[in-house]
Amino acid sequence: RPLLANCPSHAPTMQLWTTNMDTALSQFLAPISKKQGSSNKKQYFLGTLDGTGDSGCDGDGTTNHGICVQYNAKADGDTVHPEIDWMSPARKAAEAADKVAERNKRVEQLEMELWILNTTLGAQIHHKASDSGTSDRSTPTTQNQAANKSENNCNKHTNKTADECTKLGCDHDAENKKCKPKAGTESTAAGAGQTISEVDCSKHQAQQACEAENKGVKPVKKAVCGWIDFVDGTGKLPKPECCSSSILVNKNLVLSMLLLL
């Protein structure tokens, strides 16, 4: 009963690792391994022996009795550290704690790697969104230049037969007896205007201006631009941004894949 009452005041203060367990066991074995009793023959006793202690640990504090715990019935030669039954499970528990700690450390490393990957992908996506408007606008211009060149090349060939126009990569204008551009290669302002359909969402620095790009878009259609201020797995962004709908879809897909790793 006195021992039980003192247990709370001696609650463990060290983490359960193998090294700490070895230290604790050594500190426990050191005092009980000493020979005790007036005859100096009693070993592996924790507590107090009176006299020879021949009556054992019976809780009686009178002569030759003891208030103690005996862990080994007798000394085995000069053994200093006996193997007590509960010591092996204690060591196994410490080894299991080591494995848990190593696993938690690996989880933290993976979390950091995913955070770095997520941040890098976010930067790449933002960079792609910024460049998409420029690249998309330059494509129709290049196409129109090629179409104009083809049209001019065909129109300059006059007094040509159908065979001659075909060899030049053109159609034949039988009425005027000259070459003409093939159908579908003519460039028109309307065609150019229809080609430039991508909006540079990244130019907007305010949510109202960003969402204004969606005016006139039918409910069943995909929005042109979207305002991002929060990303799953990352949290609230330090600097919100306006992205095109295609970028939003790709970004959410990438982040979903990261969460599955």
Helix (H) or strand (E) holding 258: helix 245-260
* Region of residue 53 (left: phi > 0; alpha: psi -120 to 50; beta: else): left
Q: Pick from 118, 124, 115, 114: which is nearest to 247 by CA?
A: 124
pLDDT for position 141: 53
Looking at the whole model, is its pTM more than 0.85?
A: no
Calculate the alpha carbon distances from 181 to 26, 76, 82, 139, 171 in Å: 97, 109, 102, 21, 6
Reported as a single tens digit per residue, the pLDDT across 1-13 is 666 676 666 566 7
Q: What is the pLDDT along the chain (261 residues), one digit of tens a residue?
A: 666 676 666 566 778 899 999 999 988 888 888 888 888 778 888 888 888 888 888 888 888 888 888 887 655 555 556 778 888 999 999 999 999 999 999 998 888 888 888 888 877 777 666 665 555 544 555 555 555 666 667 888 888 888 888 888 888 888 888 888 877 655 443 343 333 346 778 888 888 888 888 787 766 566 678 887 766 555 676 778 887 765 544 444 444 444 444
Reported as a single tens digit per residue, the pLDDT across 151-178 is 667 888 888 888 888 888 888 888 888 8
pLDDT for position 93: 94
Secondary structure of residue 238 in the 3-state scheme = strand
Q: Pick from 198, 201, 197: which is nearest to 242 by CA?
A: 201
pLDDT for position 254: 45
pLDDT for position 144: 56
The answer for residues whose C-beta is within 8 angstroms of residue 229's C-beta and 6 or more apart is 207, 236, 237, 240
Query: What is the CB-side half-sphere exposure of residue 16 using CA atoms within 13 A?
Result: 13
